[in-house]
Amino acid sequence: MEAHHPPLSEYDMARLEQIARNEAKLSELGLLAARSLRAPRAAGEPAPKRPRLPRPARQPTEPARRSERALLAKAAEDARRERGEDASSALGSGGQATALARLSRDRGEPSGAGLGDGAATDREPPQTDSSRSQAADLEALERLGVGNEVPGPSTKASVMQLASRGRCPKFSKYSGSIEWTNAIFLFVNVGGSDYTNLFSHDGRRMSWFGGGRQNESTPLIRRLLGAAPPPRLLFCRRQGQGGASPYVYCGRVEYVQHYPRSQPLEVEWALSDSAALHASEHFRLLLKAGSARWL
């Protein structure tokens, strides 16, 4: 009995005609016979994989060079860690700030003018337990006296504890400056290869560097260099292979000039209590350790 096949649809008829035309074209090109010579694959045999051509070896590219600023900053940070010293990424406490200051190839002409009223209207209010919302005990510092070491470990916390009336507020131990409602404390490290040329004019002046991201528009800088700033009080400590010495209270500093184009910002301060400081053995050791410039 013959098998009954359903009639082909128009689509099937068109498909068979297209196959016939393709085979005729392959025959004209001599490709139909070559295709028929291929050995048929056995049932279930996978199709042969085409050989993958090896990719050309990539030429090694020269690694991107790190900027000179980043290299010096890292070197200063590594040196501080080896000495067990607090890191400082903000205002003028030595290492990184001083190393970055050497990169200011064109600091420009100094400006002897301050920054007006120093107001910063866009600044966020401080937290209630922050030093920015509390007053420092300046009488405790007067009792300590300029040129004397702050009691306790050689850390900023010892200074803050002395000036906090018994309850130390929150502050950043990584910052080289700490604000109060009635004062600004400046912390500087002296000695070692990272801390050179801090003092000048026979120890009556000091060059001080802000943080890498600070400039004339920074709220803290505007407050420091404003027309009516709060007392700016300086604390310095010596750095050596045996560790850091206690902070020495160096009294008030007054603005002399600053370099707006310097990166980081460089400020020159005059030490208001230089006469009393020169009578202090602790301060004379700071001058010796700081490689002071006698101008």
Q: Evaluate whether residue 28 is within a structural domain.
A: no
What is the C-alpha to C-alpha distance for residues 229 and 139, in angstroms, rounded to an integer?
A: 19
pLDDT at 138: 97
Count of structural domains, the chain:
1
Determine contact, residues 174/88, Cβ cutoff 8 Å: yes
Q: Which residue has the higher pLDDT, 181 or 61?
A: 181
The answer, yes or no, to whether residue 278 has pLDDT greater than 90, is: yes
For residue 207, pLDDT over 70 is answered with yes
Lowest mean pLDDT among 5-14, 69-78, 122-131, 242-251: 69-78
The answer to whether residues 186 and 249 touch, using CB atoms and an 8 Å cutoff, is no
Q: Given pLDDT bands bounded at 50, 70 and 90, which one contains residue 38?
A: low
Local structure of residue 63 (DSSP, 8 states) = P
In this prediction, residues 212-217 reach a mean pLDDT of: 83
Whole-number Å distance between alpha carbons of 36 and 40: 9
Higher pLDDT, 83 or 71: 71
Strand pairing class (243-244; 232-240): antiparallel
Residue with tokens 């993958």: 52
| Highest-pLDDT range among 29-38, 62-71, 204-213, 254-263 | 254-263
What integer pLDDT is reported at residue 14 of this predicted model?
86
Of the candidate ranges 6-15, 17-26, 88-97, the one whose mean pLDDT is the lowest: 88-97
Strands 243-244 and 177-179: unpaired
Is residue 212 domain-resident? yes
The answer as to whether 41 is a domain residue is no
pLDDT band at residue 101 using 50, 70 and 90 as cut-offs:
very low
Helices (H) and strands (E) in the chain, counts: 9, 8
Range(s) of the domain holding residue 204: 68-103+128-289
Lowest mean pLDDT among 98-107, 181-190, 255-264, 279-288: 98-107
In a domain, residue 179? The reply is yes
Token pair 């230089």 in the structure block, residue: 274
Q: Pick the more confident residue, 6 or 84.
A: 6
State residue 242's pLDDT score: 76
**Mean of the per-residue pLDDT values for the chain?**
76
Is the bond preceding residue 63 a cis peptide, omega within 30 degrees?
A: no
Asked if 96 and 213 touch (Cβ cutoff 8 Å), the reply is no
In a domain, 191, yes or no: yes
Instruction: State the average pLDDT over residues 283-293.
Output: 75
Rounded-to-integer distance, Cα 2 and Cα 294, Å? 120
pLDDT confidence band for 257 (50 / 70 / 90): very high
- The Cα 98–Cα 193 span in angstroms is 10
Helix (H, G, I), strand (E, B) or coil at 211: coil
Tokens, residue 96: 């990184």
DSSP-derived pairing of the beta strands 184-190 and 232-240: parallel
Q: What is the pLDDT of residue 64?
A: 44
Q: Does the structure show a pLDDT above 60 at 105?
A: no
Residue 249 has pLDDT above 50, yes or no: yes
Residue 51: per-residue pLDDT? 67
User: 61 lies in a domain?
Assistant: no
Residue 92 contacts residue 208 (beta carbons within 8 Å): yes
Phi, then psi, of 190 in degrees rounded to 5:
-125, 140
The average pLDDT across 124-152 equals: 94
| Side chain identity, residue 167 | R
Does residue 258 sit within a domain? yes
Other beta carbons within 10 angstroms of residue 256's beta carbon come to 15
